[in-house]
Chain A
Amino acid sequence: MTFADWISQPVNWVFSVIGLAVLFSGFRVVTAKNVVHAALYLVGALAGTAGLFLLLSAEFVAWVLVLVYIGAVIVLFLFGIMITRAPTGFDEGLDADNKVMPAILAAGMFLLMAWSSLDAFGTALISSTGTPTSTDLIGESLLGRFVIPFEVVSFVLLAALIGGITIARRDLTPAEEEERAAV
């Protein structure tokens, strides 16, 4: 398959646009000098990823990604940033001084992974039928074959909830405890 064949399919135009947006946003997440901007670029990367999931006929996962990540996780991140950096803005001490070694390592990892997947799958095609995977099927799979992992994950969420509250709660000073006991 030549590049001309590849680019002649409209679905690949969509992929190219979304893919470039995702890559740009991802790059800005790790290079932005402003903490809030980094979090907002992550929104772009995740929204693009949701678009890719729609291309791959995974509608349910795409909307779960939008709801959980863009709806909840990013808000948590913004709260974390606001609380830990009162003067939000540009900051020189945000990155390590030595950026060459990490860049070499990351480039090496990318080349290794890209080469191995190109070597293993070559021009394997995804034959999209155009019909999205039904939420029915995912639900039955979650509560059928994967019911034990599902319960384990729900237990992990419960543990994270309790752990988060326990860690983030401020311990009362002895004076405050006495005051509370007196009421």
Chain B
Amino acid sequence: MLLNQFLVLGAALFAMGVYGLLVRRNIVLILLSVELMLTAVNINLVAFEAYLVTADAVGQVFAIFVITVAAAEVGIGLAIVLMIFRNRKSANVDDLSLMRW
């Protein structure tokens, strides 16, 4: 296996996440795109770990950290989405223009 086949796949997934982040207008779907980007980063970390084979499995440990922080991010993010939806009756980012300059 080449190292690059994993890196290019990760780059493609990350670019898709960026596209979704910019195009989507529903907050839940924007969070889904962020998950896609984090997964792409995890693929890179694990691929580099398999390539370098460190003594402490550093790449895999960092992938676990990324997964943990992503789980916390989703919990908080969806709590905020629920709160916004309760107050504004909408989950569309275009409707949330109160703090726009």
Contact = CB atoms under 8 A, between A and B. Distances in A.
B96 to A, nearest CB: 13
Contacts of A110: 11-12, 14-15
Interface of B: 1-9, 11-20, 22-29, 31-33, 35-36, 39, 42-43, 46-47, 49-51, 56-58, 60-61, 63-65, 67-76, 78-83, 85-86, 91-92
B76 A167 contact: yes
Interface size class of A (residues with CB under 8 A): 35 or more
A140 B91 CA distance: 43
* Top-8 shortest CB links A-B: A30-B20, A110-B15, A102-B22, A160-B72, A106-B19, A113-B11, A117-B7, A84-B91
Contacts of B92: 93
Contact of A61 (B20, B64, B80, B81): B64
Say what secondary structure dominates the interface of chain B.
Answer: helix
Interface in A75-91: 76-77, 79-81, 83-85, 91
Contacts of A96: 22-25
Given A114-B8, A163-B76, A68 B82 contact: no
Contacts of B58: 141
A95 B70 CA distance: 24
A68 B67 contact: yes
B18 A137 contact: no
Given A77-B32, A156-B69, A167-B83, A109 B1 contact: no
Contacts of B46: 52-53, 56, 58, 61
A77 B74 contact: yes
A164 B2 contact: no
Given A99-B23, A109-B11, A160-B73, 4 more contacts: A19-B9, A61-B67, A94-B24, A122-B4
Nearest to B91: A84
Contacts of B78: 76-77, 79-80, 164
Contacts of A15: 1, 5
A167 B79 contact: yes
A11 B1 contact: yes
A44 to B, nearest CB: 11
Contacts of B91: 84-85
Given A58-B46, A61-B46, A142 B64 contact: yes
Of A1, A22, A161, most buried by chain B (CB within 10 Å of CB) is: A22
Contacts of B51: 124, 126
Given A73-B70, A126-B47, A84 B12 contact: no
Given A30-B36, A93-B92, A157-B68, A22 B83 contact: no
